[in-house]
Structure 1
Amino acid sequence: MDPDSDRGRVYHYLVGHPREPASRLAARCGLSETVVRAVLKELAAEEFVVATDPEPGVSAAGEDSWEDAWEALPPAQVVEALLQRDAALRSALRRTGTELEQLYRFARKDAGHYGALEVVEDAARVLAISRQLQQAARHQIRVIDMPPYSGTAGHYLEQEVLQRERMAAGVAYRTIYHGSAFDDPVAGPNMARMIAAGEQARTLDDPPLKLAISDDELAVVTLAADARPGVVSLLIRPSSLFRALSNVFESLWRLAVPVSADGTGTQIDERDRQILTLMASGATDDAIARRLGLGRRTVVRRVSALLARLGATTRFQAGVQAARRGWL
């Protein structure tokens, strides 16, 4: 856990200061109370910290109040959990490689050899299937979106209308975008608008395939046609291959970098660019403060704001996101 990240700062402080309430943690760590509460929620979900009995305090109105106190779980236990998680992720990625190899082989056989797979070559039907996949979803749509971005501006606007309708109906959208989406004149603005509307989005430099999954019912893989221009879609229904594709998505989702609505298509001032450059080089808050002649609390505050703006939880993620936006 990066000690200079919000998560690392909160956990490290709790290690040496047990039973601290969020309000005191915020003051000690130089973060807002909102950020600290969000970090504590994440750490508790990962079993790195635990809430203890409430501590007495005084409210803004001068009345007695009670606030949950927090305790760090033993560092040895946390480190072991992180090591096990890393081992599990490596294992999952190896399975992903095997599963993608299966998909590669199935895609190059006649569809009749595998009952759960259907090959669709007609472009109009490919678009119709995309709409049907979304309209039939009840819980979630998972998407890996990558070039070529062949849709027209009109196509993207129609997709936006449909996606907004489905999200309003309670369907969650989780999308992994190719890093180049930021620079595409049509796909980039579409991505920004959908994130602002509530889509959960992450990016990868080079996703392995174009994929859409509706609940646990249907997956659609889109590939470049081998013998002609255009694309071919593979429809995969519930099966071992479907489960493999679902696992592929979840493995890639864990590796992808979160994207925030505020971070898409915007610019930063020169001081924040200097801070980001030093962050990317591995400089600590104290080193950044000395280098730029700023107070440490100012640096902590601006680093926290940059991480939130970039949708990043670590300095490494912030550096990746900033580079993708052309900020560095």
Structure 2
Amino acid sequence: MDVLSANTPQGKVYRALIAHPRSTVADLAELTALDPDEVEQLLGELHESEVVMKAGAEWDAQRPDLVVAAALLAEDRRRMLLRQAEAELAEIYRFARRERSGYGAVEVLDQTSAVFEHYRRFQTGAVHQVRNIDRPPYFWDEAELGSQENLQIERMAAGIKYRTIYPESEQESPRRSEGMMRTVANGERARVMVDPPIKMAISDHRIALLPLETLIEGNPDSLVTLLIHSSGLLDALSSVFESFWRLAVPVTTEGIRRPLDERDREILTLMASGATDDAIARQLGLSRRTVVRRAAALLERLGATTRFQAGVQASRRGWL
């Protein structure tokens, strides 16, 4: 994958060859500002990986589509091996902790204080990301809510990504809306949707908390929550989150309710109908470059990766 990056020595050599075919080692050293000996060594490694080709003293780049196809194939193999290792280790983990009458991937927490403590550990143990679906009822008091907000901001500053889906009613609550805006301003990616059906949190692909939103009768400190370890159930919950994420509307500190201008509305309407960039440009009398630029800005503003998602999001906001 290093060869596809513009910031690695391999990437610099490969990109130089794409732009300057049939270059010598001396040519490439000058183009990349790398030492000739290092360039020669890199070319040898890239040639072995079939990323570059040699003709006498001159070198040329392999076609980028073939290089990317090979990288994707290698990535698929790596993911398959990781999944196999995960399945084997998870089975050993569950077997070592399984009670005869229980399902080893799920623990039941029936004390609210234990849930809060697990959620703190859950975040401090995250390596890549924390995903949340937030909805009432809420069991944190003001102090606990403030402590959680501070912990999240600290973890985001340490490089952990947070993605949270909030209920739309959250924006109508001054206290919770202010907290949401602070975490968004500090790096949280947040979206809102009408009445999310579940409350849950997922740390990386390792563990999840699933509150059942019920209290044991006669015990006010008895929020029943499932602690779910790596398993098919955790995979299913992860897929549920991603499905809801695609349907929810992005929150930004720049005001997501800022209306569209008429030109963007026309472009978005044609995008949602399935028109290509060329067709939109012809119909609106714009250059293709302008259409591509404005369409990309609309996708980013809507938090969408496809035109279909953009149409769904725009419709939910009342833009179409």
Instruction: Give the Cα–Cα distance (whole angstroms) in 2 for the partners of residues 294 and 207 of structure 1.
Output: 40
Distance 1:235 1:279, change over 3 A: same
Matched, 1:163 2:127: no
Matched, 1:265 2:256: yes
1:53 to 8, 13, 17: 17
Matched, 1:148 2:136: yes
Matched, 1:232 2:224: yes
Shift of 1:226: 8.0
Counterpart secondary structure, 2:154: helix
Shift of 1:52: 8.7
Q: Which amino acid aligns with 2:268?
A: L
Which structure 1 segments of 5+ residues have no match?
Answer: 1-39, 42-49, 58-63, 89-109
Instruction: Give the Cα–Cα distance (whole angstroms) in 1 for the partners of residues 131 and 289 of structure 2.
Output: 40
User: Residues 218-237 of structure 1, C-alpha deviation per residue, up to 9 Å, x if partnerless?
Assistant: 5321123288799521224x
1:220 to 209, 220, 233: 209
Instruction: Give the Cα–Cα distance (whole angstroms) in 1 for the partners of residues 145 and 298 of structure 2.
Output: 30
Counterpart secondary structure, 2:230: helix
Contact 2:170 2:177 in 1 (8 A): yes
Instruction: Give the Cα–Cα distance (whole angstroms) in 1 for the partners of residues 182 and 291 of structure 2.
Output: 30
Instruction: Give the Cα–Cα distance (whole angstroms) in 1 for the partners of residues 121 and 171 of structure 2.
Output: 26
Instruction: Give the Cα–Cα distance (whole angstroms) in 1 for the partners of residues 257 and 100 of structure 2.
Output: 46
Q: Which has the higher contact order (CA 8 A, sep 6+)?
A: 1
Matched, 1:127 2:119: no
Matched, 1:71 2:60: no
Matched, 1:185 2:172: yes
Distance 1:222 1:160, change over 3 A: same
User: Residues 237-269 of structure 1, C-alpha deviation per residue, up to 9 Å, x if partnerless?
Assistant: xxxx53234423443465443957477634232
**After the TM superposition, which of the residue ranges 204-213 and 214-223 deviates more from structure 2?**
204-213
Match of 1:274 in 2: 266
Which structure 2 segments of 5+ residues have no match?
Answer: 6-13, 22-29, 33-60, 81-98
Contact 2:156 2:162 in 1 (8 A): no
Shift of 1:161: 1.5
User: Residues 57-84 of structure 1, C-alpha deviation per residue, up to 9 Å, x if partnerless?
Assistant: 9xxxxxx856x8963349xx89xx9xx9
Instruction: Give the Cα–Cα distance (whole angstroms) in 2 for the partners of residues 111 and 323 of structure 1.
Output: 51
Instruction: Give the Cα–Cα distance (whole angstroms) in 2 for the partners of residues 114 and 121 of structure 1.
Output: 17
Identity of matched residues, %: 41
Counterpart secondary structure, 1:72: helix
Counterpart secondary structure, 1:54: helix
1:286 to 278, 281, 288: 278
Q: Which amino acid aligns with 1:53?
A: L
Shift of 1:306: 1.3
Counterpart secondary structure, 2:20: strand
Match of 1:310 in 2: 302
Distance 1:166 1:174, change over 3 A: closer
When the two chains are superposed, the root-mean-square deviation of aligned CA atoms in Å is: 4.8
Instruction: Give the Cα–Cα distance (whole angstroms) in 2 for the partners of residues 302 and 192 of structure 1.
Output: 27
Q: Which amino acid aligns with 1:197?
A: N
Instruction: Give the Cα–Cα distance (whole angstroms) in 2 for the partners of residues 151 and 280 of structure 1.
Output: 41
Q: Which amino acid aligns with 1:167?
A: M
Instruction: Give the Cα–Cα distance (whole angstroms) in 2 for the partners of residues 141 and 116 of structure 1.
Output: 21
Match of 2:51 in 1: none
Contact 1:119 1:233 in 2 (8 A): yes
Shift of 1:191: 4.7
2:127 to 139, 153, 163: 139
Counterpart secondary structure, 2:187: coil
Shift of 1:196: 4.1
Match of 2:96 in 1: none
Match of 2:40 in 1: none
Instruction: Give the Cα–Cα distance (whole angstroms) in 2 for the partners of residues 183 and 52 of structure 1.
Output: 51
Match of 1:20 in 2: none
Instruction: Give the Cα–Cα distance (whole angstroms) in 2 for the partners of residues 324 and 276 of structure 1.
Output: 13
User: Residues 286-311 of structure 1, C-alpha deviation per residue, up to 9 Å, x if partnerless?
Assistant: 33334444343322221122123333
Distance 1:185 1:249, change over 3 A: same
Matched, 1:194 2:183: yes
